[in-house]
Amino acid sequence: MSILKVARIGHPVVRTVARDVPRSAITSPDVQRLIDDMIETMHEYDGVGVAAPQVHVSLRLAVIEVPQSDERSRDGVPLTVLVNPVVTPLEDETVGGWEGCLSAPDLRGTVPRYRRVRLFALDRRGTPYTVEAEDFCARVIQHECDHLNGSVYLDRMRDMRSLSFLGEFERFVVDDLAEGDEDASA
Query: Which parts of this chain interact with Ni ion (CB under 5 A)?
Result: 101, 186
In the complex with Ni ion, the residue whose CB is nearer, 25 or 58, is: 58
Is 119 within 8 Å of 95 (Cβ atoms)? no
Shortest distance (Å) from residue 65 CB to Ni ion:
14
Is 52 within 8 Å of 18 (Cβ atoms)? yes
In the complex with Ni ion, the residue whose CB is nearer, 77 or 101, is: 101
168: Cβ contacts below 8 Å, ≥ 6 apart? none
43: Cβ contacts below 8 Å, ≥ 6 apart? 65
Query: Is 144 one of the annotated active-site residues of the chain?
Result: yes
In the complex with Ni ion, the residue whose CB is nearer, 34 or 184, is: 184
Shortest distance (Å) from residue 102 CB to Ni ion:
6
Distance CA 4, CA 175 (A): 33
Q: Which member of 93, 144, 168, 182 is catalytic?
A: 144
Shortest distance (Å) from residue 154 CB to Ni ion:
10
Computed on alpha carbons and rounded to an integer, the radius of gyration of the chain in Å comes to 16
Is 41 within 8 Å of 3 (Cβ atoms)? yes
Using CB positions, name the residue nearest to Ni ion: 101
Which active-site residues does the annotation give?
Answer: 144
